[in-house]
Structure 1
Amino acid sequence: MFLTVSILLFVSALVSVQASTNPKVSSEGCIRPNNRGEGLGWNEYCCYYAYIDPHFSDDQTKFIKNFPTVELVSAGPALIETEERKSMSCILSNDDHVDSLLYMMKALMLNFTDSTYQAHTKKDVDLAICDYFNMACVEASIANKIPFIVTCTHVLNADALAPYINIDFLSMHNPTSKNVPFFERLRDKVINPIRLLIKARGFIKKFRQEQRALGLEPTSGQWRIKFKDSIKMFNTAFGFDPQRPIGPLVEPIGPILPKTRPVLTDDLQQFLDSHQKVVYVAFGQHAVQATEELGLIMTSMLENMETGDIDGILWSVRDMEHLFPETLQTRSGQVYQWAPQVAILHHPSTQLFLTHGGSASVYEALYNGVPIVIYPFFGDQHAAAIIAEENGYGRWMKKNDQEQATKVVQEVLRDDRYRQNANRFKALVQIRSNHGVQRGADVVEEALYLHQDGKINHRRDVRRDLSFLKAYNLDLYLFSLFVIFGSLFGVYRLVSYGLQQSSVKAKKVKSA
């Protein structure tokens, strides 16, 4: 007997695995193959990695370079081209969350074509791991009645929904309702959803037409409904995601981090060894800053250098040289197109990490006990800044406020509490990452062997098989109330009748 497991991730579809009679999915690659598969038993599987075409600026095939037995399968062209990606960050950084969400919906869902769908069905697979936004992977799995596991960085599904937790894209910039003013909540929860429905009518109609053309059941954009019978696996943990009850199909297995790190280049090693108070600045591959934003950040660094709070700056610029001010080209500041982030954060001279707030960057900093300052751009990055301040291991650098930008850097560097809290969460990240791969691999195998026509019924919430009244015992409470009030009413009627009869008898006696 042979089994095939297919793993698909976000803009790329990922992998499929073929095993012998008693397969063991013990490899990290079965969860996320990007340089995290040291312990993976790929020899037990024949794997397929479905990737987007390499004209997307980041070659997706790099994620499996350490796995020679993995077969590459094209998943079609990129949904977002390189040039469009530069404008994407500006659009998503827009304060109007409705426009930002509408842009993402069009970019990621409108290109749900037959070729994209077929790319996920042409391999005979037994299990798929699909990114939260990869609906082609989900639909292909449902059509072929194979189990699929949905993956994402943060817990965004209805299985972990609570009224006070913000998992929708219009309100997720505040992770919870705590400390959110009434009118801001009204805007995010009521006004903006109505605006989105009005603006997205044409897009939703077109998307439904594309789904029908493929023989799929339209979802009207409510793709979470498709996940209701599948395990959801998230690279996070409580402490980075707001605490609340979660369902039996939800598995927070993170943070998962590489067990190996690239070594420092000679010039980086020399620079870090010759400084004691270095700030590392990196904003990820999707955060493209304007010159004004870089100027604000750079000024905050240089002003803290003048006060002696820092003595060196490392910048990872990622194709942003044209935006970068020339002022930093000094012996105290170094600019790099690419930098081995984990190795830099591991060096004892790195005292602070200035980041956009991407989850991987936050985890890598805290794994090494380095406090952070977050300059968020879009999506869940604002929530990461709020959580960093609540947990005490970092601060939020606000836009268009030079004084505040300089102050937060100085505060984190001078106040030992930030380093202490970073070390507390260092324990959490290291503990969780130590066995996160194995937890994820166990979940994959569980779904592979226990599914029924693609559904994970043994984890199905019993609540879904009960009526609303029965699930919350409301029928019992209503019946009990009926009995109690019925009895009280009966007693009332008996007492009233008795008093009435006594009154009648008294009147008869008087008349006699």
Structure 2
Amino acid sequence: MKVFWLFLSNLLYTAFMAVTVSAFQLQPTFRSSKNIVFGAFVPGSSHTSWVLRFLDELASRGHNTTFVTLDGNLKFGAPYPRITTIPTGVKEVNEDFLNEVLSSHVSPLVLLPQLTKVLNPLWTPCYETLIDYMDTNKVDVLICDHISDACSDAAATKNVPMILTSTIASYPDATAAYINNNMAAMDDFSTVHQSIYVRLYDNFVAPFRILFALTPELKKMAQIKRDAGIINARHTDNPDAKAKNALKIVNTMFGLETPRPLGPLVELVGPLMSSEYSGLDEPFESYLSSHHRVAYVAFGQHARPLTADVKLILSALIQQHEKGHIDGIIWSSKTALPEIFPSQSPLATLVTEKGGLVDDIFVVKWSPQMGVLHHPSVVAFISHGGANSIAEALYTGKKLIFFPFFGDQIGNAMHLTRSGVSEHLNHLMDSAEVSELVERIILDKEGNYQRNIQRYQALVQIRSKAAPIQAANLVEEVAFASVGSKIPQREDVGQSLSFLKRYNLDIFGIALLVAASIVSLVVFGIYKLIFALYYRQQLQRKTKTL
């Protein structure tokens, strides 16, 4: 009986404590309002939109967020009223010249000097706008697009913590011996499938050729910086030196990026998608409702297909239409004029009235891409291979065909083709090969492409859900846990070690010396033993002779 009453009393006591002792949840106490600035001084949404997404998350946490950019990029900040947008006063980039360069399938040897020539004049107004702002406002963190040199220079001048943003992890602390991280070798992200000749050229010939071609523009840029007060600027400066202590936030994931070990200052947070997308207007909705197997063609903001490119791709799609594999084509391009393309253009011979093909080609200068890809009537996406387009296609589970133009687009296309997600075309292929690859993707007879795409679709949707929060957390880490311009908790301790100690060459040297000494002693001992035996044998022979 005593046992029963003891049990009952313990039970009542536990119930009483559960009622009287209140539970509590942990709440962060570190947070105070910080001034966070993002500088992006190159045109295009891929450099800005995804960063603004997590900048808005930071604003929702009570931080002051500011977007400093070219006047042409102001539209990307419009959907985010909590972010203050400051124009640099640069109203125009030489887009005609830029488009001419980017539409001719140029090699890095030509592209990089020409791109530098376009961006050099932007440096002074962008740098001065940032410095003026930082003179009157205490900036706690400066976020810089990775090729916005004026932003990283401003961070160095003011000695504030810096974060670099990019869509590929092309940094010294994100490389490995088998990774191609230099702009001379972006047509293939790793050396796995490269011959020894290509590897030798990419590492010892191409970089020097590009540096030689870049030198005149680098000298001009160095003079511009000296005129602005950066008196130590030289054209030989290592561009990676300013990023040594910076956190790098990269809008990608392994699967899109080649897997390898990354340094503690590199974080893959992507794909980071927009919070909302434009829906379909009536012409798009009407077209997609009346067509059920549509191929969608778009090449982003900067790529400009040549007439030969259009002919190559359009010919293959027309064949698919004639075979009944697709019943419509959406062609979205800034250079396409709906009133003349293609029925009255130089490509008119490609288009016949057979099967109502003219009515089945829907030509627009711009399209709400995510809305188009999200529609069930779209079965394939012919893309240039830009980061945003890839993420949107994979999120919606659409089959991909790549026609890359420049930069990382070529490497993206190659990497995802080898991953079984897509096929890639190039402007040097003949029409028969292009048609065969397009048909292979559209029919997907064994379903292998779609299975791989569904696997990637899951990866993209899983990672994109938490991406803005993850990126915002990283910015707060820099804002609250940095010391000056450094982030001590993320510093690679190896940087403080001598070369010998960092790679254990000192102990390997000692071990090698000890091993060599032991081997030498053993060899010497064997030699002495053999010599002694030989001497004894000779002595015995002499004794017998006597």
Interval of TM-score (by shorter of Structure 1 and Structure 2): 0.7 to 0.9
State the partner residue of 1:378: 406
State the partner residue of 2:441: 412
State the partner residue of 1:68: 81
Equivalent positions of 1:393-412 (< 5 A) are 393-400=421-428, 401-412=430-441
8 Å Cα contact 2:44/2:73 also seen in 1: no
Instruction: Please tell me the residue identity of whatever aligns with 1:408.
Output: L
Q: 1:120 aligns with which of 110, 125, 130?
A: 130
Instruction: Please tell me the residue identity of whatever aligns with 2:194.
Output: V
Instruction: Please tell me the residue identity of whatever aligns with 1:102.
Output: P
Q: Which moved more, 1:462-471 or 1:437-446?
A: 462-471
Q: Distance in 2 between matches of 1:191 and 1:282?
A: 34
Q: Which moved more, 1:102-111 or 1:417-426?
A: 102-111
SS in 1 for 2:358: coil
Q: 1:366 aligns with which of 394, 400, 425?
A: 394
- Provide, for residues 93-147 of structure 1, a one-character-per-residue CA deviation record: whole Å limited to 9, x for no partner: 22x431222212332346533x332211222211111011111111111111110
8 Å Cα contact 1:283/1:356 also seen in 2: yes
Task: Identify, as 1 or 2, the structure richer in helix.
Answer: 2
Give yes or no for the alignment of 1:348 onto 2:347. no
For structure 1, the residue ranges without an aligned partner over 5 or more in a row are 15-28, 54-58
Q: 2:304 aligns with which of 288, 294, 301?
A: 288
What's the offset of the Cα at 1:292?
2.1
Equivalent positions of 1:39-50 (< 5 A) are 39=57, 41-42=59-60, 44-50=62-68
Q: Distance in 2 between matches of 1:100 and 1:382?
A: 14
Per the normalisation by structure 2, the TM-score is 0.83
Give yes or no for the alignment of 1:456 onto 2:484. no
State the partner residue of 2:111: 100
- Provide, for residues 31-79 of structure 1, a one-character-per-residue CA deviation record: whole Å limited to 9, x for no partner: 6116x777554472333221213xxxxx311112122243332224267
Q: Distance in 1 between matches of 2:294 and 2:58?
A: 36
Q: Which moved more, 1:221-230 or 1:70-79?
A: 70-79
State the partner residue of 2:154: 140
Equivalent positions of 1:152-231 (< 5 A) are 152-213=166-227, 214-218=229-233, 220=236, 222-231=238-247
Q: Distance in 2 between matches of 1:293 and 1:490?
A: 72
Instruction: Please tell me the residue identity of whatever aligns with 1:117.
Output: Y
Give yes or no for the alignment of 1:387 onto 2:415. yes
Q: Which moved more, 1:419-428 or 1:3-12?
A: 3-12
- Provide, for residues 303-337 of structure 1, a one-character-per-residue CA deviation record: whole Å limited to 9, x for no partner: 10000110011121224328842246822111122
Q: Which moved more, 1:495-504 or 1:374-383?
A: 495-504
Change (3 A) 1:448 1:495: same
Q: Distance in 2 between matches of 1:71 and 1:441?
A: 17
Q: Which moved more, 1:423-432 or 1:317-326?
A: 317-326
State the partner residue of 1:435: 466
State the partner residue of 2:145: 131
Q: Distance in 2 between matches of 1:146 and 1:13?
A: 26
Q: Distance in 1 between matches of 2:33 and 2:391?
A: 37
What's the offset of the Cα at 1:500?
6.4
Q: 1:469 aligns with which of 500, 513, 517?
A: 500
Q: Distance in 1 between matches of 2:379 and 2:44?
A: 37
8 Å Cα contact 1:7/1:49 also seen in 2: yes
Equivalenced residues, count: 489
Change (3 A) 1:504 1:192: closer
Q: Distance in 2 between matches of 1:239 and 1:11?
A: 27
What's the offset of the Cα at 1:506?
8.9
For structure 2, the residue ranges without an aligned partner over 5 or more in a row are 1-31, 352-356
Per the normalisation by structure 1, the TM-score is 0.88
8 Å Cα contact 1:398/1:404 also seen in 2: no
State the partner residue of 2:354: none
8 Å Cα contact 1:204/1:221 also seen in 2: no
- Provide, for residues 222-264 of structure 1, a one-character-per-residue CA deviation record: whole Å limited to 9, x for no partner: 3112101110110001111111111000001001112322221
Q: Distance in 1 between matches of 2:531 and 2:523?
A: 12
State the partner residue of 2:69: 51
Change (3 A) 1:477 1:336: same
What's the offset of the Cα at 1:412?
0.4
Give yes or no for the alignment of 1:90 onto 2:103. yes
Mark the structure with the bigger radius of gyration: 2
Q: Which moved more, 1:100-109 or 1:130-139?
A: 100-109
